[in-house]
Every structure is written in C-alpha cells, then in structure tokens.
Structure 1
C-alpha cells in the first residue's frame, strides 16, 4: 500500500470498524436517554432537539451558516474524520429515541410539523447507517473540496477584519480536510465503492482550474483585493500578506496533494463506469435513496417506466412546436438544429448576463398574481468562475441573507456562452430565480414564528427541485413561452428532466454503461455530446439526485389539481402556493398530508 495510506491507517481502522458494524441495538443510547433528568414539557423538549440538530447541521455545513449570517461557524470547515462520523451516528440514534418518547399529541400547528420533519430525518438517517461504505463516495462533480474555497470567496459577506480572519482560518484548515478526504477515499479503494474515472478527471480538472503561480491571481485571493471601510490600512496589508502565504503554503499544496493521490493511487483502481447496482449492497442503497429523498412507495422500475413515457409525450409536443416554426424535418433534426446551430447560442458572456438580467423586468411585476408574499431578499445574476465551470456547467442558485443584506445568487455559465442556448432563457430564469429557487428559499427563510431549524435545517431534493421545475410551468400564467423557440426551451427542459429518470435509474438499477447513458441523453434528451457526458458523470456521482425534479413537479401538479377540484370557486392559486412554500422544504409525503389538511379545512389563506 502507498505511504499515504499507511499514514492514514489509524483513521482508516476506525472507519473500517464503523463500516463493519451495522447500527447496534440501541441499548447504550437508551440507557443514556434514561439517565437524563426528568423531561421538560413536550414543546421545550422539541425545541431543545431542534436547537441541537440545527447546530449539527451548521457544523456539518458551516458554509451554510456563513451564507445565512449565522455567527459562530464562519471559521469552520466540515469534519470528515471517523471520530466525527461515529459521534454523528450516535447522535442520530439517541435523537430518534428521544423523539419516539415524545408525546406528539401535545403538539399543534407548526410545532407538530417540525416534530414530524425532524423524526422523519432521524428515521432516514438511522436507516442509512447500514450503508456505511457510502461515506467513501466523498467527492462529487457537483462540488466539494475542489471548489469549496473559490465558492466561499464569492459568497462570504466580508464586513470586518474578523470575517477575513475566519476566512483565513478556513484556508489553514484545508490540509486537514484533504487528509480526511483521502482517508475516506482510501476506504473506497479497499471496498470498491469508488467514483468512476470520468468523475475523477472532472474533479482533477476543477483543481487545476484555479491553481496559480502568483497568489494574487487566485480566485481565493479575491476578497483581499477589496475591503470595507471597517478594515484599516494596516490590517489590510497584514491580512493580504497572510492570505498570500496560506495560498502558497497550505491551500494549493494540499489540493496538489489530493490531485496527486487521485491520479496516482485512486484513479488506477477506479472503475470506468459503475453505478450503485454494481457495488456490493449498492442497489439496496439506491432504493433507500429513492424512499428517503425522492418519494415513498416508488420503485426504480416505476420511475424508469415513467421517464420513458414522459420522454415520448414531450417529444410529441416538441414535434408540434417544430411544425409551428415551419420546420419540415423530423423531431430529431429540429432538436439537433436548435442544439448545434450557432444562431441559437449567445455571442458573448455579457450577452448571456444581459439576457437573464432583463428577465427580472418581465417576471417580477407579475409575481403578485401568484403569491401573497414576496421575499424581501433580492437576487442577483453572476457568472461562474473557470473552476466552477470545469467541474459542472449546470446553472445553480445560492441563498442570500436578509440579516447580512446579501443577495441570492443565480449563477450561469456565462464564460461558456458558446454553449448557452438563447432559447432556454425563460425557463431557466424561472427555475433558478423567481418564482423558482429564490422565491422558495428566500421566502421560507423570512417566515416569522418558525424555529430557525425550519429555515436552514435541511434540504429535500424532490421538494426543492420539484418546486423549481413546477415554477417553470408558471411561465404560462405570466404570458411567457409565446415565442415558439422559448416554448421549445420550456419543453426541452422538461424533456431533459424526463430523460434523467430513465438514465439515472438505468445507471444505478440496471447497470447501464456510460456510453449507453450518454447516447440516450443525446438521442432522446436532445443534449449535445459534451453536455450529455457532463450530465451523465453528474448522475454517476450523485445517485438519485436527478430524479427529484420531475417526481417533485408531478406531485405538486397533482396536489394543485386535487385542490382545484375539491375547492372549486374557493381555490386561489396564491393560497395554494402559500401552503406549499410557507412551511419550508419537506418530504413529499409530508407535503401531501399538509395540503390535504388544508383542503379538508376548506382552503383559504394559510
């Protein structure tokens, strides 16, 4: 074994011990729970549990605390050590026991929902503990340590010298986080739970994209080129000097060490293609992900078939749009033309940003027709850095903070303007900005009376991405998609998500090879070869995540139709949207119960 692996052995030994031990009988946890003093009221006990879990969430994702303006975590990085993992699993088991002991009948309204959400989270977390090798899949093409600090440079609100000191503390912590990351990767080398070689190559490319010879040229150094008035001249010089030193002595050497390990130790053993079904116990884990993060009661086979049906439907609708434009060829030819002809792509980075920024003037004034309350936090549109684009070109959204006065950020790959189609502007804007992710996340963060855990304590992909895809459909009510090419863009976006259902399940349940998955995304999903390869690598590295979009959207449409039919003239779309959004993100089964309860009460403003 390589010297690096021998140096990691104490940590690896503990990790392996965790892997070899399924969640034990809860005897020790029960004894600890019983040893506690007499329990307070149910509400107080629930609040204590929510407080504790919020702290756990923010320690696991301290960048979230930074973005939300929650003090006390800005100097931290995630702890990926085996000790931290063991502590977290013990915490999950003991918390579930405490939740099971609560008399939930004493809770009402939002407290009852908070209880159900936290209990569901802990039940799923404890159930997942038997899939211990999943922790070896620590790197992803969607993001990770390879672009963590460049992202922080973009999103951190620097208001005082302390903010810069916290940022420097994170730079100092990168070598330790790299060591912890490699320890988990080494567990994957031993067990076979490894990322595929194309995913590894994308992560290496993301590291290369922001490695520089001069520290002042680093994206990570960006915050030290501008200071608020609260930072004095002497402080500015000292902070900048320390940043330069840390970039050269800590940050870049650590990432270079990770890159060398990936290329020389990890990649040679990594599979060229391997979905979860190809890993020992992997298919069970994939089914767990579907149950816990997407939808209860749906199987991979059902999702695969649904995707095929939706692909066929959407291709028929695209054929109708093609005829509307006067196109005489086949549907495939129409899709290829719009996906490859330079006339349908942007000519500059500035043109990309201008087109998306102009959308706010068309959409913002109409939001009052669909929503009772609009978020006070503004949003902005920015371009990806080269490091971000090298890992994944997919547009994304990051939450802002009303407390910090920072905007939510819709990030688009403006640097890759030649591959950004003009026909998807309307649908993508609605998805990432308003009424999509920004409306959803910023509005929920501003609701009064909710425990802070409800505002920042978790993410459910089927709810979150399902809402954003549902938001694209709201474009019809706002008078969008009247241009046939923008209408195509909307249909193509849905086709893309339908094809994902087929390909994600194909990879992880049916052992599809990468070439078959890419070919399907090109032929049926209408993607270019490069984009299809990027997307397929995303599915390999983030199993089930791509399923949430269309599954969540379809559930929202189903619930809306149910409410319209049951309430008749009493139905108000603004009321329905308030019920969906103002309770924060949640699993679809809990959302369905919430909507059904609202319908049973006769609808109205929630």
Structure 2
C-alpha cells in the first residue's frame, strides 16, 4: 500500500536537504509547514477515540484505550456528555490553523497536495492529502453524531442486531470459555461477575434514553420494540439459568466457593434487570409507538449520513435501483439462455446448478475450498492491482458457530491473528454450492475487505480513531462490492456458474435498496413489487411486502429470510451501503480515468486503488472528492 510520508522521516531516496533541487526543497518546506496542523488534528482524533472508548468497552478493546465502564453506557447522561465533548471537538477541529505562510498555491503541483476543491479559495484544499482528509473526516463524523444525538435518534435506537441492547447482551452471554483462544481462569469469572453487576445500570440507561427520546416524539417502530422485547425474554432465561448454576454447553465449568455464589447472585440481578427492560418495552413504550414500519424521511436522512457520509436524492436512487434490478434480472436470464438454451430463465439455471448434489460440498469442506479461492485471489491481485502493508499476510477462512452468515474480522497483531473470514451455516444446511459462494469469499477476503479495511487497520499513517472507530459502512461495503467487479475483470469469476452467483448476490443487494428507501423514507411501493405473491397490496411498505420482495429476488431459507426482514425493518440505511458505496467507487474510477485521458495517459489502476485505500474509511462525499 502506498504510504504517506511520515513526519520527520528522510526524504524519498535518502537524499539530504542539501542534495535536493531548489524546487524540491520549496515543496518539502511547504509540506513541513503543515506539521503543526497535522499534529493538532491527530491529537484531536485521539481525543475522540478516548471519548468513545470511555463509554464503550468494545471500542476500548479495539483501540487498547481505557474504558470506565464494563458495558456500553448510552444513558441520557452519557449521551449528553458525548454530545458536549463532540461539539467541543468539532469547534477545535475547525479552529486548527493553516500555515501562516500559505499565501499562494505553493506545492500545488505535488499530487499529495492537490486541491480537492479547485477554485473555492479554501486553503485546506492545498493541504497534504493525509492532513486534509483527516480534518474533513473528523468534521463529517463529529457533525453526524451530534445531529443524531440532538435529534433524539441516537437515544431511540432499537433493533435486533446493532442497537445498545445487543451490545450489552453480547457481553453478558460471552462466558470465559467462549472467548477465542482463551482458557477460563478465576479472573475471567470475576470479570463476568463484574459485568453482571453492571447490567442493571446499563439497562436502566437504555430504558431512560428511550423514554427521553419518546418524550420528544422520537420512537422506534412497534415491530422493533416487540422484537427486542422477545430478545429480552431469551436473555433473561439464559441469565436465570446461570443464576441456578446451569452453564449449559461444553467446556463451561462454573467456579465454586465464594466466587461461584457471587456469580449466581449477580446473574440473578442481571436477569431481573433484563426482565424489567422487557416489561418497559411492552407495557410503556410499545403503546406509544407507530404501527407503520420505518423511521420516516427526516430521520432516515440522518441515518443515511451516518451509514454513508453523504446525503441522497431518495427519489432518484429509488428509480435507479428499480432499473438496476431490471438489468440484473435480464443479465441472469441472458446467462441462463447461454448455458441452457433460448427461452431459459434465471430460475431454470438456478435449479440446474442445484440439481446435482455431487457438484456441491459439505459445510465442513468449505474452509479448505474457500482458502484456496482467497489464496488464488491474493496471487492475482496483490502487487498487481493494489499493494498491502507489511504484516497483513493472507486472510484465513474459518467456520463460525451455526447461524447462517459471513463476516470479516481484521488482523489482531497483539494476538498473532491474521485477518479472518468467518462463515456460518444454518443448522440443517447439508450442501454448499461453490458457484454461489465464490463471489462472497472474494467480497470478504481478497480483493475485498481484507485488502481494504484489513490493510487500513495496519496503516501507521492513519490515526487510531481512523483505523478502528471512524469507519463508514458505505465506503467499506462499497469497496467490497467494487472488488467483486475487479474479480470479474481479473478472471477470478470467469465461469458462467460463478458469474451467475455474482449476479444473484448483486440482485439481493439491489432489492435491499428498494426495501430500505421504501420502508424508511416512506416511498410508495412500486407496481412490480406490489404485484408479487404475498405482498401487502397497499402503497405503503409493510412486513408482508418486504418479505415478498426479498423472497422473490433471492434463495434463502425461511429462518434466515425472516431475520433479514427484521434487520432491514430496524436498521435504517444499512441496505444502501453496498450499492451506493460501489456507485461512488465506480464514479471515482471513471473520473480518474477521464483525468488521465485529458493528459493522454493511461489510468494507473494500481495507484488509484492504493490512493483510495490509503484514505481510510471515509464518507462518500469525501471519497468521491479525493478519488475524482
């Protein structure tokens, strides 16, 4: 990966200042003049990381910074403190001064100092790349968080997957022997007791923030309240069982003596606190909530900025996604006709590819096969289409606990862990189809997340906050989807069956754009969706219509389908991150191509990718400015 020159390091090529040409010395002098601004912005970014870590132990673990709490703190007082500090940080970032000597366009010919906003007179446009990106990224992320807190949306966040309750739940159900690579110790069990003891306060904070937001008229949809209430029932049962000394599952040997008694008492208190939250959700919050699905246009706009780092024209994107869906279905039909003959459709090819079980594999065989796919991609991409930092290494593919899903985990040098792709399969899955999985492996590994967010996590030119806490889903998921296209270009998805799998995955992501915009921005149901079997029949998106849309455009087990419906109904803008992020990466490449052609050069794709990855995970507005 191309790295920004570190402050204080020798000039390129090892030349002394005296050895350099006068023009080079002037440019280096100009760059050095930005040193105070760079240092100040870095300090402010680290201050932001310390704030986030202090309120969230997961952020503390990711960064190695201290936390004052054992469970996420999202109560009204914590949100008020965070808002106060974020406002102050925002002011301080804006107050960082440009060099006093910056009176002209010194060094503007240096690519690292290229003005990203030509002609606007902003001296920050002439700052070195790393400096101006860090400043813009801080301002955007701070501003977005401030808006979410002050609009009461942050306090009202409630869904089945990513809301504060899930953060608390994960830390309560993780027993010492559940920790990767760990062996339980007395201290591990004592830490669990402390987490149980912290649960009543953390859960009260969640309830109080929901109540404060509700008093301002900002409420989660009723379906999400009911779904999370059911999750509280499950968690309360688990904790009550642990309070009785039942730690079901292999390898869980509860401590004895005083520590064992402390564990049972603390687990019982935690179970009671979880039950209290469930009663509040059902008895007090649910009656206040709207029956209509989604958060509505104005609140959706806030979440779009959080997830994408940009604002969108929802009507334009809606129509674009409708056409994209038509196009991808047509491409699948064309591929079916190519393989099976004229008149064949996508459904025919899907059935054909699943007809012979011998062409599939068992879940147990998946890691070895997928590791080969990732290794082949590494050899084809790294050092050719992009570079990676020292120490990244090849990703590792592993099976995860049953459930159905896949995700990427970044390297953890402190634990000697490489970047990891974890794939889980639903209970009962017996056959895994390589043609359906290949594009997903490439998306998660190489040239996808591993060479983007994995590489960024090891990039010393990025601040701790940028590497771990300042990530924007639209940038990360957009890159991974763009990476699937790179796989097509490099021949990694050359077989018709593999291309069909790529189109099927793309079709799934496109329909989620329609679902997200329809549900959360309250756009009318398109006629082609309303006509699907099982759709609700009205002009408003409801759960049956979401189910019908997802079922028509994917092949999922019913259990996973219902989970995905709940996720899309409760997580505004998440479904946009993939397709809209990819759209920006493609637009940035097109602009860079045009700029190269203007000077009669060929686009250096490797340099383009290195530059984009080196920016860190940024909002889409900032990404397109710097790519284009």
Please indicate the TM-score interval, normalised by the length of the shorter structure: 0.7 to 0.9
1:64 to 49, 59, 65: 59
Whole-Å separation in 2 of the counterparts to 1:328 and 1:254: 63
**Secondary structure, aligned partner of 2:572:** coil
* Residue pairs, 1:143-182, within 5 angstroms: 143-150=166-173, 158=182, 166=191, 168-182=193-207
Contact 1:374 1:439 in 2 (8 A): no
Match of residue 541 from structure 1:
570
Tell whether the 8 Å contact from 1:295 to 1:588 is kept in structure 2 after alignment.
yes
Aligned equivalent of 1:135: 155
Distance (whole Å) between structure 2 residues aligned to residue 367 and residue 206 of structure 1: 46
1:460/1:585 contact within 8 Å kept: yes
CA deviation after TM superposition for structure 1 residue 527, in Å: 5.2
Distance 1:430 1:135, change over 3 A: same
State how far apart, in whole Å, the 2-side matches of 1:167 and 1:217 are. 13
* Closer, same or farther: CA 461–165 of 1 in aligned 2, 3 Å: same
From 281, 291, 294, the counterpart of 1:275: 294
Offset at 1:535? 2.1
Cα pair distance change 1:152/1:406, threshold 3 Å: farther
Alignment of 1:400 with 2:411, yes or no, is yes
Aligned to 1:410, the other structure's residue is in SS state: strand
5+ residue gaps, structure 1 = 1-39, 226-235, 278-282, 597-606
After superposition, residues 183-582 of structure 1 pair within 5 angstroms as 183-187=208-212, 191=217, 193-197=219-223, 200-201=226-227, 204-205=230-231, 208=234, 211=238, 213=241, 217-218=247-248, 241=260, 245=264, 248-262=267-281, 266=285, 271=290, 273-277=292-296, 283-291=297-305, 293-294=307-308, 296=310, 298-326=312-340, 331=345, 333-334=347-348, 337=351, 343=357, 348-368=362-382, 369-374=384-389, 376-377=391-392, 379-385=395-401, 389=403, 393-416=404-427, 418=429, 422=433, 423-509=435-521, 510=523, 511-524=540-553, 530-567=559-596, 569-582=601-614
> What secondary structure, in the 3-state scheme, does the structure 2 residue paired with 1:455 have?
helix
SS in 2 for 1:395: strand
* Separation in 1, partners of 2:224, 2:431: 23
Q: How far apart, CA to CA, are the structure 1 residues paired with 2:359 and 2:233? A: 28
Deviation at 1:549, TM superposition (A): 0.6
Structure 2 vs 1, CA of residues 273 and 176 (structure 1 numbering), >3 Å: closer, same or farther? same
The whole-number CA distance in structure 1 between the counterparts of 2:262 and 2:62 is: 21
Q: Secondary structure at the match of 1:564?
A: helix
- Judge conservation of contact 1:74–1:163 (CA < 8 Å) in 2: no
* CA–CA distance in structure 2, aligned partners of residues 454 and 588 of structure 1: 15
Aligned equivalents of 1:481 and 1:74: distance in 2?
48
> How far is the alpha carbon of 1:455 from its aligned partner?
1.5
**Maintained 8 Å contact 2:333/2:345:** yes
Name which of structure 1's ranges 53-62 and 339-348 shifts more when overlaid on structure 2.
Answer: 339-348
Give per-residue Cα distances to partners, 1:292-324, cap 9 Å, x unaligned: 542635211111111101101111111122123
- Displacement of 1:95 in angstroms is 1.9
Q: Distance in 2 between matches of 1:536 and 1:350?
A: 28
Q: Please, which of 96, 112, 125 is the counterpart of residue 102 of structure 1?
A: 96
8 A contact 2:221–2:294 mirrored in 1: no
Distance 1:291 1:205, change over 3 A: closer
Which has the larger Rg?
2
Among 75, 79, 82, the residue aligned to 1:85: 79
Tell me what 2:532 maps to.
none
CA offset digits 1:325-376 (Å, max 9, x no partner): 3167653633773798794996754244444344333323223222222562
Q: Deviation string for 1:240-269 (max 9, x for gaps)? A: 847954774355454444445545555566
The answer to whether the Cα contact below 8 Å between 2:370 and 2:397 also exists between their aligned partners in 1 is: yes
Aligned residues: 535
Q: 1:72 to 1:128 in 2, by over 3 A?
A: closer
- Against the structure 1 CA distance between its residues 490 and 51, is the aligned structure 2 distance closer, same or farther, given a 3 Å change threshold? same
Are 2:400 and 2:424, in contact at CA under 8 Å, matched by a contact in 1? yes
Q: 1:469 to 1:96 in 2, by over 3 A?
A: same
Structure 2 CA distance, aligned partners of 1:453 and 1:169?
Answer: 28
Distance, in Å, in 1 between the alignment partners of 2:355 and 2:257 is 52
SS at match of 1:381: strand
Backbone CA RMSD of aligned residues = 3.7
Between 1:49-58 and 1:117-126, the stretch displaced more is 117-126
Contact 2:49/2:465, CA 8 A, preserved across alignment: yes
Give, in angstroms, the shift of residue 491 of structure 1. 0.7
Task: Determine the structure 1 residue equivalent to 2:140.
Answer: 120
- SS of the counterpart of 2:415? coil
1:304·1:501 contact (CA, 8 Å) conserved in 2? yes
Question: SS in structure 2 opposite 1:132?
Answer: coil
Stretch deviating more after TM superposition (111-120 or 187-196)? 187-196
Conserved? CA contact 2:406–2:421, under 8 Å: yes
d(CA) in 1 for partners of 2:293, 2:73: 27
Contact 1:307/1:501 (8 A) holds in 2:
yes
Structure 1 pair 84/202, CA: closer, same or farther in 2 (3 Å)?
closer
CA distance in 2, matches of 1:129, 1:268: 24
SS of 1:89's equivalent in the other structure is: helix
Could you list the per-position Cα deviations for residues 163-219 of structure 1 after superposition, in whole angstroms to 9, with x for gaps in the alignment? 775555334323322222222344466546124426743673586388274656457
Moved more, 310-319 or 475-484: 475-484
**In the aligned structure 1, how far is the partner of 2:444 from the partner of 2:232?**
23
Q: Tell me the distance in 2 between the aligned counterparts of 1:206 and 1:347.
A: 37
Runs of 5+ unmatched residues, structure 2: 1-34, 101-126, 524-539
For residues 247 and 381 of structure 1, the distance between their equivalents in structure 2, rounded to whole angstroms, comes to 37
Secondary structure, aligned partner of 1:371: coil
